Amino acid sequence: MFSVIFPGQGSQIVGMGKELYDKYNMVKDLFKQADDTLNFSISKLILEGPKEDLDLTANTQPAIFLISYSIFNLAKNEFKLDLNKAKYFAGHSLGEYSALSCAGYLDFSDTLKILRIRGDAMQNSVPKGQGGMVAVLGSTVDEIEKILTENKENIKAQIANDNSEGQIVLSGKTEDLEKLIQILKDNSIKNIKLPVSAPFHCELMSNAAKIMTEELNKLNFKNGQNKLISNVTGNEIKDPEELKNLLIMQIENRVRWRESVINMIENDVNHFIEIGPGKVLSGLVKRINRNVKIDTINSQSDIEGLKL
């Protein structure tokens, strides 16, 4: 039994999807539709750069979604792979929007527009330089939560991503993270400051959550074909109204990716198919459970080699 999973921010590279864009009119048509929907040439940005513009959150989020959606639909319609046989659809942060759109809960154009708004809102929720994120390696959620609890009077930081065994990401104000980095160092816990310009998935995203509440409530969510796994709970979800509420909560809350993968495996999933640029989620799944099968799909040969 397999699940389809979709990557989040950080997987983008200039030129992603170019092979499929050059070969298939279906992909060209989706890129053109994206340009028309967003009123600027996101296709040119994806295919030619510059990298610094592609890396802007408001551009990155719809760009990664466009690539994931294009690959999914190409595999399904041109190569006749029945990806909707998946037990679950899941995605990491913005990848959750790729999952719900590919599963039929939200229209392609609506997803592009909401991700453009989401990226802009998240980027501008905190003044530049005043917040950030730190990756913690080789530790456990319990250990990090203990440190945060013991220092809560002096440091306001949150676990933003519980990614895999031994990979946790923290978010907070820059000055709080600097104090936290010293405490982690004193406890011989390896950590790396991430090259991001905002503290995603924490309470500092409250302005973005307000904007997304208003914008998501304007959208028409449909009854999709597949069960989704929520980032916020790590559990399955199918009700469109509940899905909308969890997408709002996702902005300020932890991405429970490790728990999501464990839940899927405990519910008989033994094969994960990552659809989109990069191999980040495949690496995380492998760290969580080495016994499951993993396929990464981002080229024609990947699609041709996929066995469901």
pLDDT of residue 180: 96
Query: 93 catalytic, yes or no?
Result: yes
Does 197 have pLDDT greater than 80? no
Q: What is the percentage of the chain residues whose pLDDT exceeds 90? A: 95
Block residue for tokens 């094969």 = 271
Cα 117 to Cα 181, 210, 215, 234, 268: the distances in Å are: 32, 12, 8, 25, 36
pTM value is 0.96
Alpha helices per DSSP H over the chain: 18-23, 25-38, 42-48, 51-54, 57-77, 95-102, 108-123, 141-150, 174-186, 206-216, 240-250, 257-266, 280-288, 300-304
Phi, psi of 193 (to 5 degrees): -75, 130
Pick the range with the lowest mean pLDDT from 27-36, 69-78, 237-246: 237-246
Q: What is the percentage of the chain residues whose pLDDT exceeds 70? A: 100
Catalytic residue among 101, 139, 201, 282: 201
Over residues 199-211, the mean pLDDT reads 96
Could you report the per-residue pLDDT of 242-293, keeping only the tens digit for each? 999 999 999 999 999 999 999 999 999 999 999 999 999 999 999 999 999 9
Catalytic residue among 68, 93, 171, 230: 93
pLDDT of residue 176: 96
Pairing of strands 271-275, 131-137: unpaired
Three-state secondary structure call for residue 194: coil
pLDDT of residue 84: 95
